[in-house]
Amino acid sequence: MKRQTLVEYKDASPEIQAIYDEVMEVTGSPDVFNFLKAFGNNEKVLRAFWSMLRYTLLEGDVPALLKQLILFRISVEYGNTYCASLHGRTVLRMDPTITYDELIAMSDGGNMDIPASYRVAIEIVTQMALRSKTVEAEDFEEQLRDEGFSEQEIDELISLAGFGVLLNTMTDIVHIPTEEPLRPAT
């Protein structure tokens, strides 16, 4: 059941179009994610979600691929088809050496040819996001520091855990339709 109407660019107010223009400019995409279109009736809510997405996911010192891998893993474990599909497709576009099968195996805790620091971050941030009470600050901070993450990067990873939960929860609440399903390349 659809709870939100996706507001397309042509139907949006000038204020919403301005935010859409910024999204497309920053992401280099010819369109806006359905997640953001679902909030195209409310400039303040849309601006808030876009700002969080931009500054948590698209900017910062943590590599973009690692952020996408983390959000993919969180989304798979959370059980959110929209977010898993969006982040999975993004990972496969960002790194063509990663295969669909490797990505799916990684989502189940399997091995993938990525740096050890990425594996540690994926595990810890997913645990922070979905089982936060099982993580001690000293444990994850020490493990992340041991893998070479700076204090600033650790802060980014912590915010990514919270943002991942927020994205998955919001897309579930409003039943966002997937732009394109995640599937193996043919």
**CATH number of the domain bearing residue 121:** 1.20.1290.10
* pLDDT at residue 147 in the model: 94
The answer to whether residues 26 and 68 belong to one domain is no
Could you give the C-alpha distances from 54 to 10, 15, 57, 85, in angstroms and in order?
A: 23, 18, 6, 19
* pLDDT at residue 133 in the model: 86
The answer to whether residues 68 and 152 belong to one domain is yes
Contacts of 178 (CB under 8 A, 6+ apart): 34, 81, 82, 85, 86
HSE (CB half, 13 Å, CA atoms) of 120? Answer: 15
Residues of the chain with pLDDT under 50: 1
The answer to whether residues 22 and 110 belong to one domain is no
The answer to whether residues 68 and 150 belong to one domain is yes
Owner of token pair 């909030």: 39
Contact 87, 71 (CB under 8 A): yes
The answer to whether residues 54 and 134 belong to one domain is no
* 3 vs 184: CA distance, rounded Å: 30
Tokens standing for residue 48: 């808030």
Contacts of 35 (CB under 8 A, 6+ apart): 49, 82, 86, 167, 170, 171, 176
Range of the domain at 46: 9-58
* 59 vs 34: CA distance, rounded Å: 20
* Residue 33, amino acid: F
The reply to whether 103 falls in a domain is yes
Tokens standing for residue 87: 């982040």
Cα–Cα nearest to 59, from 123, 146, 153, 125: 153
Please compute Rg for the chain using Cα positions.
17
* pLDDT at residue 72 in the model: 95
How many domains are there within the chain?
A: 2
* 151 vs 156: CA distance, rounded Å: 9
- pLDDT tens digits for range 65-75: 999 999 999 99
The reply to whether 3 falls in a domain is no
